[in-house]
């Protein structure tokens, strides 16, 4: 750095002068302190953006024994859900001037151990452990975290007192089934996912609870368990259900891919959705809205889950009380044409 660059570099003192606060207040804002009012925090952040201030992270770390960085380790192999959750984490972290190191273990314990050691060598302030493809229980991290805070995202543990953030799959299936019942559908089938997924059991519980709540019978003959989440498996299961001769006027699928297979099976059997059978998927993948008809689907709260996990971690780093329990984030329903009410049904 040249002497001229040093002279022109914006300092915390410059930010304080523009925002009309003390340098101590600027420091509190940068450190995520809750002692600063929202209005003052906004003035400081506006001044930082206007001046292009970049805090000296090394000096901040030496003074506060923090590096203002966190690690995020995913085991995701495909990135279907990971990207949205990471966006939520990054938005919260960047708003507090915290950097995020992203690592992928690809589901391998040895890789997770190596990543954790690297993150600890970089003296990150905390770690988020992210399961990118399914909710599941898992054990302790592959290496000791040496006392730094951690949060589990899209997975949970009973082996350590840490916050765990997962979607409320029971609620998701319940509101989907309630929606179909509210549309006047009385013969509601369910194509569920593979049995070795926890979400499969949760979504079945939600489906059955909604039927009981609507005064409709729980009919096992209208339920099929798929071997995979793939479209071709959805087609096979729905074709088998239609060929069974049981009356069916609505169908919930435990994934949008299964729902695509259902649409193919409807067409093969000369049926239309929603006219003959109303259809709801699960996950609200980007392709759902572009189907013919556009697919009603349960929205996984991935972005909000990422934000919640980041808030929990940064609060713990700041010394605030931790919420050491499993937090189930509500799902929502994106209503589209595939589940529309078309006529009165009896």
CA 231 → CA 52, 112, 199, 264, distances in Å?
A: 49, 32, 18, 9
CA 250 → CA 38, 185, 239, distances in Å?
A: 48, 6, 14
Mean of pLDDT values over 112-123: 93
pLDDT in tens, 147-194: 899 999 999 998 889 999 999 999 999 999 999 999 999 999 999 999
Residues 172 and 236: beta-carbon distance below 8 Å? no
Q: Is the model's pLDDT at 4 over the cut of 80?
A: no
End-to-end CA distance of the chain: 79
* 77 band by pLDDT with thresholds 50, 70 and 90: low
CATH code of domain 69-167+301-330: 3.40.50.2300
Distance CA 99, CA 97 (A): 7
User: Given this model, what pLDDT does residue 327 score?
Assistant: 97
Query: Tokens representing 221?
Result: 């003959």
One of 2.40.50.320, 1.10.260.40, 1.20.1260.10, 1.10.760.10 is the CATH number of 3-55, namely: 1.10.260.40
* DSSP per-residue codes, 25-76: HHHHHHTT-TTS-HHHHHHHHHHHHHHT----HHHHHHHHT--SEEEEEE--
Q: Is the model's pLDDT at 27 over the cut of 90?
A: no
Non-local CB neighbours of 182 within 8 Å, separated by 6+ positions: none
Mean of pLDDT values over 278-299: 96
Query: Tokens representing 222?
Result: 């209208």
Q: What is the pTM of this model?
A: 0.79
* 336 band by pLDDT with thresholds 50, 70 and 90: very high
Mean of pLDDT values over 40-45: 90
Mean of pLDDT values over 1-10: 49
CB atoms within 10 A of CB 212: 10
pLDDT above 90 covers a percentage of the chain that reads 73
pLDDT in tens, 44-75: 889 888 888 876 554 554 445 688 999 999 99
Distance CA 138, CA 156 (A): 6
Query: Tokens representing 230?
Result: 């793939």
Q: Considering only CA atoms, which of 260, 252, 246 is closest in space to residue 288?
A: 260
CATH code of domain 169-300+333-339: 3.40.50.2300
User: Given this model, what pLDDT does residue 323 score?
Assistant: 85
Residue 190 CA, distance from chain mean position: 24
Nearest 5°: the CA angle 163, 169, 171 is: 105
* 277 band by pLDDT with thresholds 50, 70 and 90: very high
User: Given this model, what pLDDT does residue 57 score?
Assistant: 52
Distance CA 39, CA 317 (A): 23
Q: Considering only CA atoms, which of 257, 265, 194 is closest in space to residue 226?
A: 194
Would the CATH topology of 69-167+301-330 be identical to that of 169-300+333-339?
A: yes
pLDDT in tens, 241-263: 999 999 999 999 999 999 999 99
Q: Is the model's pLDDT at 109 over the cut of 80?
A: yes
Domain extent listing, the chain = 3-55, 69-167+301-330, 169-300+333-339
Q: Is the model's pLDDT at 5 over the cut of 50?
A: no
User: Given this model, what pLDDT does residue 200 score?
Assistant: 96
Mean of pLDDT values over 202-212: 98
Q: Considering only CA atoms, which of 179, 173, 209 is closest in space to residue 191?
A: 173
């Amino acid at each position: 750095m040249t002497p001229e660059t040093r002279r022109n570099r914006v300092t915390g003192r410059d930010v304080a002068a523009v925002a009309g606060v003390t340098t101590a207040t600027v420091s509190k804002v940068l450190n995520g302190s809750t002692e600063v009012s929202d209005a003052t925090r906004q003035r400081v952040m506006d001044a930082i953006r206007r001046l292009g201030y970049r805090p000296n992270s090394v000096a901040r770390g030496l003074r506060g024994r923090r590096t203002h960085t966190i690690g995020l380790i995913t085991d995701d192999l495909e990135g279907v859900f990971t990207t949205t959750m990471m966006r939520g984490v990054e938005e919260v972290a960047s708003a507090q001037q915290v950097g995020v190191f992203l690592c992928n273990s690809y589901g391998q314990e040895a890789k997770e151990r190596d990543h954790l050691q690297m993150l600890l060598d970089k003296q990150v302030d905390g770690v988020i452990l992210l399961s990118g493809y399914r909710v599941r229980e898992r054990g302790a991290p592959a290496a000791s975290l040496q006392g730094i805070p951690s949060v589990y995202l899209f997975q949970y543990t009973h082996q350590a007192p840490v916050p765990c953030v997962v979607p409320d799959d029971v609620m998701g299936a319940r509101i989907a089934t309630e929606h179909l019942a509210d549309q006047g559908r009385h013969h509601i089938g369910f194509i569920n996912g593979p049995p070795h997924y926890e979400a499969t059991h949760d979504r079945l519980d939600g489906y059955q609870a909604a039927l009981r709540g609507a005064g409709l019978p729980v009919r096992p003959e209208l339920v099929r368990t798929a071997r995979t989440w793939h479209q071709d498996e959805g087609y096979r299961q729905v074709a088998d259900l239609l060929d069974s001769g049981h009356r069916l006027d609505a169908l919930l699928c435990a994934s949008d891919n299964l729902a695509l297979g259902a649409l193919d099976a409807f067409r093969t059997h000369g049926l239309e959705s929603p006219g003959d059978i109303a259809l709801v998927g699960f996950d609200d993948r980007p392709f759902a809205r572009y189907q013919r008809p556009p697919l009603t689907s349960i929205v996984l709260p991935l972005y909000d889950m990422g934000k919640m996990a980041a808030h929990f971690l940064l609060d713990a780093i700041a010394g605030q009380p931790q919420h050491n329990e499993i937090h189930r984030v509500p799902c929502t329903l994106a209503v589209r044409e595939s589940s529309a009410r078309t006529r009165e049904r009896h």
